[in-house]
């Protein structure tokens, strides 16, 4: 007996519908790794070419102010999968691991009768950090290095869709990696953003390693930064195209309208913003503001734009609600009522243990990295955003008047900074539970994992 029929026999008809098709929607969750919101045309960025994300947003709901909970892959995916802040789930730069005690979205949906499948192009989103806990099947797409990851992943998804005989609703999670450094989109995609007379050597130079920015700045020709941005656009356009192809595959099989589709990112990327590259050490909006579009089944609410601040934790709550699952966490269902404009937005970046491991030893001890060897947390409420540093260096911005966070107001508006600090402390008191399960010992590492993580490590 198949699952749908079994459920009907068990008397779950009201929840499921017994017409053969499950009443609960399929869930398709796409993460564009390392993709900042302001590089999509739906967010008003004139130079972007992202028609597929824009079309998804137009046929569903676009969230104009969506934020990651961290500027790094592991804590952000952990929030997406648990509905918890990093201060609670404990997956961060130090632990580099999601403790097994947390209930994940894949587990909750799996228990509720969903088939759960992950296609991951980022080795961190896998066993190594325990982020795929609960998925029945994990396709480690990152094990096949080289160009065309997103297209290859879609091919694998297509094979899976066509071989599928399961009658359960599915939870399909996909992580596309292209916008992560290095920015080496296929030539045809680069041609849409970079003039043909820009040489290969020049493109290579503009692709300088993120680590070089911090330790060998003299080697970098900063006049190449606009070219670096264009190479990044080409990567964003590549994953946008992949989203379009994925949605077409669903449409062709009559699955799109039966699905809740979410497209989001885990964090943004610095391209010279606030004098940074990559997405380490900071919690500026260049790394926290992410694209988010949600298409409810059947395209309900098409064309809605929502302006209240939302977070990855809310995405978790939204998927859980659509699947009819009651879920833990701090998030709210984004397809229910509008949320307050002054709801708090939390960002966290722990001591950068994982990232600095890629630096040569003398650099780790040197003066240029010293300012970044600390824990930072950000709290945004209304127009104000505090970035609290464990070393006592705090920053305060009016993100409405100064969205690029260039004027630190901490000395000018100490009362505002203090009030946000008190609020952050209250959140820590309420949600900052300790990790009770230690990560597994780091002994032998799968050589493929090691190679892949090194490739993401910004080392040329």
Q: What's the rounded Cα separation, in Å, for the pair 55 and 363?
A: 45
**What single DSSP character describes residue 441?**
P
DSSP-derived secondary structure for 359-389: S-HHHHTSTTTGGGSS-EEEEEETTEEEEEE
- Please tell me the count of residues contacting Zn ion according to CB under 5 A: 3
Q: What's the rounded Cα separation, in Å, for the pair 370 and 393?
A: 13
**What single DSSP character describes residue 451?**
H
Question: Judged by CB, which is closer to Zn ion: 266, or 395?
Answer: 266
- Least CB distance to Zn ion at residue 280 (A): 11
- Least CB distance to Zn ion at residue 266 (A): 4
Q: Which segment (28-36, 268-276, 367-375, 451-459) binds Zn ion by CB under 5 A?
A: 28-36
Question: Judged by CB, which is closer to Zn ion: 31, or 420?
Answer: 31
Other Cβ atoms within 10 Å of 431 Cβ, number: 16
Q: What's the rounded Cα separation, in Å, for the pair 445 and 373?
A: 26
- Least CB distance to Zn ion at residue 286 (A): 14
Question: Judged by CB, which is closer to Zn ion: 74, or 250?
Answer: 74
Question: Judged by CB, which is closer to Zn ion: 33, or 273?
Answer: 33
**What single DSSP character describes residue 100?**
T
From residue 150 to residue 189, the character string flagging contacts with Zn ion as x (rule: CB under 5 A) and all else as - is ----------------------------------------
- Least CB distance to Zn ion at residue 259 (A): 24
Question: Judged by CB, which is closer to Zn ion: 61, or 118?
Answer: 118
Residue nearest to Zn ion (CB): 73
Going by C-alpha positions, the residue among 280, 282, 278, 311 that lies closest to residue 405 is 282
What sign does the dihedral 411-413-416-418 (CA atoms) show?
positive
Buried b (16+ CB within 10 A) or exposed e, 333-370: bbbeeeeeeeebbbbbbbbbebbbebbeeebeeeeebe
Question: Judged by CB, which is closer to Zn ion: 129, or 189?
Answer: 129
Question: Judged by CB, which is closer to Zn ion: 103, or 178?
Answer: 178
Q: 438: number of CA atoms within 13 Å, CB side?
A: 3
Q: What's the rounded Cα separation, in Å, for the pair 381 and 394?
A: 16
Distances from the Cα of 80 to the Cα of 57, 68, 240, angstroms: 19, 9, 20
Element (H, E) at 277: strand 277-278
Q: What's the rounded Cα separation, in Å, for the pair 156 and 205?
A: 33
Q: Which segment (1-9, 22-30, 32-40, 182-190) binds Zn ion by CB under 5 A?
A: 32-40
Q: What's the rounded Cα separation, in Å, for the pair 256 and 299?
A: 9
Other Cβ atoms within 10 Å of 429 Cβ, number: 8
Question: Judged by CB, which is closer to Zn ion: 73, or 286?
Answer: 73
- Least CB distance to Zn ion at residue 120 (A): 11
Both tokens assigned to 221: 């020709």
Cβ neighbours for 22, distance < 8 A, ≥ 6 positions apart: 4, 16, 113, 167, 168, 169
State the pairing for strand pair 115-120/137-140.
Answer: parallel
- Least CB distance to Zn ion at residue 71 (A): 9
Question: Judged by CB, which is closer to Zn ion: 68, or 293?
Answer: 68
Question: Judged by CB, which is closer to Zn ion: 267, or 380?
Answer: 267
From residue 333 to residue 372, the character string flagging contacts with Zn ion as x (rule: CB under 5 A) and all else as - is ----------------------------------------
Q: Which of 29, 33, 54, 236 binds Zn ion (CB under 5 A)?
A: 33
Q: Which of 35, 50, 69, 73 binds Zn ion (CB under 5 A)?
A: 73
Contact 232, 182 (CB under 8 A): no
- Least CB distance to Zn ion at residue 264 (A): 11
Question: Judged by CB, which is closer to Zn ion: 179, or 296?
Answer: 179
Query: What is the phi/psi pair of residue 70, to 5°?
Result: -160, 165
- Least CB distance to Zn ion at residue 11 (A): 43
Q: Which segment (42-50, 70-78, 83-91, 183-191) binds Zn ion by CB under 5 A?
A: 70-78
Contact 292, 59 (CB under 8 A): no
The interface with Zn ion within residues 251-270 (CB under 5 A) comprises: 266
Residues in contact with Zn ion by the rule CB under 5 A: 33, 73, 266
């Amino acid at each position: 007996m198949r699952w749908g029929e079994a459920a009907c026999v068990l008397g779950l008809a009201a929840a499921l519908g017994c017409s053969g098709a499950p009443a609960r929607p399929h869930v398709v969750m796409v993460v564009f790794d390392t993709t900042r919101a302001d590089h999509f045309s739906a967010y008003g960025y004139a130079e972007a070419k992202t028609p597929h994300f824009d079309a998804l947003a137009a046929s569903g709901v676009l969230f104009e102010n969506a934020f990651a909970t961290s500027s790094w892959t592991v804590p952000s995916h952990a929030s997406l999968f648990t509905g918890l802040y990093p201060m609670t789930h404990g997956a961060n730069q130090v632990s580099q691991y999601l403790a097994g005690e947390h209930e994940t979205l894949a587990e909750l949906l799996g228990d509720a009768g969903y088939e759960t499948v992950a296609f991951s192009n980022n080795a961190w989103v896998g066993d190594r950090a325990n982020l795929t806990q609960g998925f029945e099947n994990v396709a480690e797409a990152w094990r096949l290095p080289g160009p065309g990851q997103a297209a290859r992943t879609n091919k694998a998804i297509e094979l899976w869709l066509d071989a599928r005989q399961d009658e359960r609703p599915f939870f399909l999670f996909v992580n596309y990696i292209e916008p992560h450094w290095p920015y080496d989109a296929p030539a045809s995609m680069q041609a849409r953003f970079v003039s043909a007379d820009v040489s290969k050597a020049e493109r290579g130079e503009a692709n300088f390693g993120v680590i070089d920015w911090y330790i060998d700045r003299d080697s970098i020709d900063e006049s190449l930064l606009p070219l670096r941005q264009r190479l990044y656009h080409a990567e964003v356009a590549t994953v946008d195209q992949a989203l379009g192809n994925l949605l077409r595959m669903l449409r062709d099989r009559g699955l799109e309208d039966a699905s809740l589709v979410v497209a989001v990112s885990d964090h943004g990327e610095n391209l010279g913003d606030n004098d940074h590259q990559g997405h380490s050490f900071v919690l500026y909006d260049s790394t926290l503001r992410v694209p988010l579009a949600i298409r409810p089944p059947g395209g309900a609410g098409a064309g809605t734009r929502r302006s209240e601040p939302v977070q990855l934790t809310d995405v978790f709550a939204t998927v859980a609600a659509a699947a009819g699952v009651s879920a833990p966490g701090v998030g709210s269902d984004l397809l229910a009522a509008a949320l307050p404009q002054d709801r708090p937005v939390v960002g966290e970046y722990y001591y950068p243990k994982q990232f600095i491991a890629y630096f040569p030893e003398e650099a780790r001890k040197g003066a240029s990295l010293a300012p970044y060897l600390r824990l930072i947390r950000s709290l945004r409420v209304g127009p104000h955003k505090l970035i609290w540093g464990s070393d006592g260096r705090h920053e305060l911005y009016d993100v409405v008047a100064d969205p690029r966070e260039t004027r630190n107001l901490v000395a000018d508006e100490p009362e505002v900074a203090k009030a946000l600090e008190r609020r952050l402390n209250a959140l820590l008191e309420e949600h900052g539970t300790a990790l009770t399960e230690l990560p597994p010992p780091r002994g032998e590492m799968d050589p493929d994992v090691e190679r892949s993580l090194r490739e993401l490590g910004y080392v040329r």
